Amino acid sequence: MNFLLPRMMPGNPAVVVYNEILKAGGSGINPSYLHQLEVEYGISNAPIYDQYFQYLWNLFHGNLGISIAFYPEPVSSILAEALPWTLFLVISSITISFFIGNRLGRYAGVNRNTYRDLAIDIFAMFMASFPAFVLAFIVLDIFSVYGHIFPLGGAYGLDVTMGFNVPFLISVMYHAFLPILTIILTSLGGWVLGMRNNIIPNLNSDFINFSENLGFKDYQIKSIAYKNALLPNMTGFAMSIGLSVSGVIIEESIFSYPGVGLYMITAIDSLDYPLMQGIFLMVVIAVLVGNLVVDILYGFLDPRIRQEGE
Amino acid sequence: MQDQNYHRIPERSVHYERFMSVMEKIRSSLGVILENNKSRVGFALLIGIVVFSIVGIFYTPYQPDAYLFARGLPPNSVNILGTTGYGQDVFSQLLGGAAPTLMIAFSVGVFGTLISVFVGLLSGFASKRVNEAINAIISIFLVVPGVLLIMLFGTYFLGIHESLGYLPTIIILVITGWAFGARTFRSITLSIAKRDYILSSLLIGESRMSIIFRQIMRAIMPVVVSNFFFTSMYGAMGLTFVEYLGVGNVEQVNWGTMLYWAINNEAYLTGQWWWILPPSIMISMLMFSFILLNFGLDEMANPSLRVYSRKKRIVKND
């Protein structure tokens, strides 16, 4: 898909850049320059299968082409620079929201049909219905613009040196607080509702009645049901990595956090196709790896799946 | 008089009967929506927004996209919600932008649900190999992050047309949004297709089409409706993303482009809350109503989710 899309679409980056220069009234522009640009960006008119093998060969060597917006920096080096920040945001915020959300959902499910349950449900639904970037703006407005509590952007302060020292780590935490908070708030709702909907059938099931009759204590029963209800949410965990990468893109651009998202927005504004494809490919790979890891973990957690394979 | 009225009843035409039966069907399915507290609230909200948008089609206080007033006025007696940084009336924009927003949300809901029902039903009755292929396609679309795909598609469209109309927006959202529902329908159809009553009607000699449309469709109908609201929610969410990124046509007036202009002019930094808050509240309300309807209907379709109080433990000290 990543290979086909740009080739199916009429026009190519070289033409876009060429037209831009024409519009700006650049001098010394003629079709030979267009050809030069095409060579520069690795666009050829070779048969499609030749292009495909060329593309795979380049991928294999970590060559994703050259960015247009950040010319002449190659896409791969931009990604290497931006990826750690994004991964940091995504992993920390998903993990936190996963734990908080599941606990809240469990609380709501155990106390179902009460006002506490209703309050948690409504809160979760409302949070899930808020567009992520609007929430990000509100948070930014309250805490940074008017409150002056948190910084307006960046990943770390200018007064610290990069590396594993205490001031740097504190600065990173301080700068990441607001983005992580918004991602947690927007992704919390899904976990809460999912957990609640999983644990209610579990609490009504036969094995819970059985363990009740065996004389298990209340908290033991709840934790048994919780463990069982957690399993479907684990698969959701993998899928949410992909979803929140998309959410992170928006939030990074708002908090001007130097991750992949900020580059993505720049790439869209300047029609930087190579950079966009590089980011897209990388995100898809990240999501696939995440899915794979969770699938393997799932096998460890759920004995039923292991038995099926044997 | 009494007699005449009595005799008039059999004279009602066939069309009238048919109309009444359709109305009865609508009424009974509405009754299903109104059974549950969550979906009741969601339905009321949605009706409110729909009425708002219908009013917006026929009447707005001022022309939504005309620059008629001073720039950045706070709410006052002339402009109920103030004016934008370009001197447009915010309330008129909100009213006029409702219909396109709803239109996109609903059409994404309709087309996305149609595709996912089709794929789901197909996999229920296809051969094993086709079934696995369908499953693979579904999981690819599930895993690929939709918003990124929107950005990619949108930017390519931007490269060709310079701007994205409503139709490409809908197409993009449908392409990225159908997979989740398809997975749900696939698993439901597979489990229903194995049941005894389907097998027995196959043995009687009922045609497959009839089984699919009369029996399976009926069984999955509540899930279809619930999925429709979920996909519509995705449509509304996706629209705001598309417009916020400026990938769509930012000249059109809808809630997404309102947010785009407000945010691009840094309304949140200059304290123009009346520009940024109304569209975001309306979008949140729309999504909230979709979520409520989705979860309410899920609760009805899935009896195990129905909340009942637990049995008292009688045999404690037996």
3-state secondary structure of A74: strand
Q: B264-304: per-residue pLDDT in tens?
A: 777 777 777 788 888 888 888 898 898 888 888 777 776 66
**Higher-confidence position of A23 and B196:** B196
pLDDT digits (tens, 9 = 90+) for B129-171: 888 888 888 877 777 766 777 777 777 666 665 556 778 788 8
* pLDDT exceeds cutoff 90 at B305: no
Q: Mean pLDDT over all residues of chain B?
A: 78
Q: At what angle do helices A166-203 and A75-110 cross, to 10 degrees?
A: 40
Separation CA A2–CA B242 (nearest Å): 20
pLDDT tens digits, A26-44:
555 566 666 666 665 555 5
Q: Which residues of A243-271 are buried (b: 16+ CB within 10 A; e: fewer)?
A: bbbbbbbbbbbbbebbbbbbbbbbbbebb
Q: Do A249 and B315 touch (CB under 8 A)?
A: no
Taking residues A105-113, report their average pLDDT.
83
CA terminus-to-terminus distance, chain B: 73
What is the rounded average pLDDT of the residues A150-177? 71
- Give the total residue count for chain A: 310
Residues of A in contact with B244 (CB under 8 A): 131, 133, 250
Q: Which residues of B are less than 8 Å from A115 in CB distance?
A: none
Q: Which residue of A has its CA nearest to B242?
A: A250
Over the stretch A257-308, which tens digit does the pLDDT of each residue have?
A: 887 888 887 777 777 777 777 777 777 777 777 777 777 777 777 666 655 4
| Shortest alpha-carbon distance between residue A172 and chain B (Å) | 24
Which residues numbered 115-174 in A keep a CB inside 8 Å of some CB on B? 125-126, 128-131, 133-134, 137-138, 140-141, 145
Which residues of chain A have a CB within 8 Å of the CB of B291? 125, 128-129
pLDDT of residue B258: 85
CB distance A280–B152 less than 8 Å?
yes
pLDDT digit string (tens) for B222-244? 788 888 888 898 888 888 887 87
In a mutational test of the A interface, the residue from B101, B143, B299 whose CB has the highest number of chain A CBs within 10 Å is B143
Residue of chain B whose alpha carbon sits nearest to that of A287: B143
Residue to mutate among A246, A270, A293, with most B CBs inside 10 A, is: A246
- Does the pLDDT of residue B261 top 50, yes or no? yes
Domains of chain B: 36-71+85-299 (1.10.3720.10)
> Given pLDDT bands bounded at 50, 70 and 90, which one contains residue B197?
confident
Confidence bin at B316 (pLDDT 50/70/90): very low
Check B287 against A201: CB less than 8 A apart: no
Contact A112 B307 (CB under 8 A): yes
pLDDT more than 70, % of chain A = 66
In this prediction, residue A49 carries a pLDDT of 63
CB contact under 8 A, A131 and B309: no
Q: For chain B, say whether A242 makes contact (Cβ under 8 Å).
A: yes
Average pLDDT of chain A to the nearest whole number:
74
Segment B189-210 shows an average pLDDT of 81
ipTM of the complex in this document: 0.72
Q: Give residue B106's pLDDT band: very low, low, confident or very high (50, 70, 90).
A: very high
Nearest CA in chain B to A19: B159
C-beta atoms surrounding A77 within 10 Å:
13
Answer yes or no: is pLDDT of B10 > 80: no
Per-residue tokens: A118? 């209703």
In this predicted model, which residue has the larger pLDDT, B12 or B131? B131
Q: Are A65 and A274 in contact (CB under 8 A)?
A: yes
CB contact B233 to A (< 8 Å): yes
Considering only CB atoms, which chain A residues are within 8 Å of B292? 125
Q: Which of B159, B276, B290 sits opposite A11 (nearest CB)?
A: B159
DSSP letter at B309 equals P
Q: What is the pLDDT of residue A83?
A: 81
